[in-house]
Amino acid sequence: MTDPVCDLVLLTWDHLEETQPCVESLVRHTDVPSRLLIVDNGSVSPAKEFVASVKPSGAIVEVRVLRNPSNEGYPRGMNRGLRESTAPYVCLLNNDLLVAPGWLSELIAVAASHPRIGIVNPSSETLGQHPGRGQTLDGYAAELQRLRGQWIEMGACVGFCMLIKREVTEQIGLLGEQFGMGYFEDTDYCLRARHAGYTCVRAKAAFVHHKENRSFKDTWRTQRDQDAQFDRSAQVFYATWGKPERRAYVVVADGTVGRLREDMLQQANRDGVVVMFAPRQLPSLTVPEHTNITYKPIAGRGFALRVLWTMVKKKKKFDRIIINHRGLGRVFRQLRWLHRACVDVQDPSPH
């Protein structure tokens, strides 16, 4: 038997209508020798029988079913697979996925392209990459092939499909089981990896369709129970890392652009949300490429009013506004009652 390059840890719980197409797409489109570790969280018939029937095929050189007597949630379920994994790479997979051709080889190629890259997500609707109207998933994935080898940094990867280098798991261990049934364990894991010196990225040319929460939502009896679990996990996460901020950077003067870029990247890498507003014509401006950073160029007159209006009409308000213009900073401080954010003014003069 060929030694597996990657261990695929697939977490399942009932929902045959999701699990079977997911497994079939893995068998059809996985192109790297892999072992499929199916962690079954207490499925009943017919999903239980299907999981037991899965056999090695194609690049899936081995299948192992690890059965839990009941639904132990995402962190504990995935950790059972992580403990069994011995390959150079391990990929955590939800059961509501459809993978596209070349998905795994591209994830691994991106991970191997730089020693600092530790965790990799594919492109997916979950991260904002959508096929065009009438376009098939495979057709969209083929279109993305022009981006092979390219990646974009992320604050934290998302656990629906997350490739991890063996050296990362050896350094930081398993997912945090203090998060109970789930939520925030993937972000916590990625921030731990960052603390150990690794980067989280999205491989632009790898595509995985994610149906999102098709089985996870049934873990709770009511929406209130699910919301309560989210809130509990959030508090556990905030106690360790603090609450990520939503920050707006209003860049007007040239002098501090370099320093502000570094500040934006640090904030984005803590999985904070960063939105940068700047006049479209600002000559020295270069925008960091990062999934957590959004650039909103403002054209025409009335720059301050346009920025303020954009902030005010947002449903999710900013926690902090950083401005590199003293006069504009005074205006935004006076209008705090309207935008509700703390305002920091950077000295616009270069050092």
Lowest average pLDDT, out of 3-12, 138-147, 252-261, 323-332, goes to 252-261
> What pLDDT is recorded for position 151?
98
Question: Tokens 């790898």 belong to which residue?
Answer: 206
Where does residue 206 rank: exposed (0-12), middle (13-18), buried (19+ CB within 10 A)? buried
**Do 12 and 52 share a structural domain?**
yes
pLDDT at 232 over 90: yes
Residue 351 lies in a domain: no
**Do 122 and 161 share a structural domain?**
yes
- The number of distinct structural domains making up the chain is 2
**For range 239-260, the mean pLDDT:** 85
**What are the distances in angstroms from CA 237 to CA 62, 176, 186?**
36, 10, 11
CA distance 304 to 187: 35
pLDDT in tens, 28-60: 999 999 999 999 998 888 999 999 999 999 999
Q: Which range of residues forms the domain containing residue 309?
A: 246-345
**For range 149-177, the mean pLDDT:** 97
Q: What is the CATH number of the domain that holds 293?
A: 3.40.50.80
**For range 257-274, the mean pLDDT:** 89
**What are the distances in angstroms from CA 259 to CA 72, 186, 282, 319, 329?**
46, 30, 16, 20, 17
pLDDT in tens, 110-151: 999 999 999 999 999 999 999 988 898 889 999 999 999 999
**Do 251 and 110 share a structural domain?**
no
Question: Of 238, 257, 287, which residue constitutes the final position of a domain?
Answer: 238
**Do 250 and 106 share a structural domain?**
no
**Do 212 and 107 share a structural domain?**
yes
> What pLDDT is recorded for position 213?
64
- Looking at every residue in the chain, the average pLDDT score rounds to 92
Two tokens, residue 112: 């191997």
Question: Of 238, 272, 303, which residue constitutes the final position of a domain?
Answer: 238
Question: Of 179, 213, 238, which residue constitutes the final position of a domain?
Answer: 238
Q: What is the CATH number of the domain that holds 25?
A: 3.90.550.10
> What pLDDT is recorded for position 333?
95
pLDDT at 254 over 70: no
**Do 172 and 233 share a structural domain?**
yes
Strand partners, 199: 117
CA distance 191 to 260: 22
Sign of CA dihedral 42, 48, 53, 56: negative
Residue 295 lies in a domain: yes
pLDDT at 351 over 50: no
Reported pTM? 0.93
> What pLDDT is recorded for position 160?
96
| CB-based burial, 314-344: b 16+ in 10 Å, e otherwise | eeeebbebbbbbeebbeebeebeeebebebb
Amino acid occupying residue 250: V
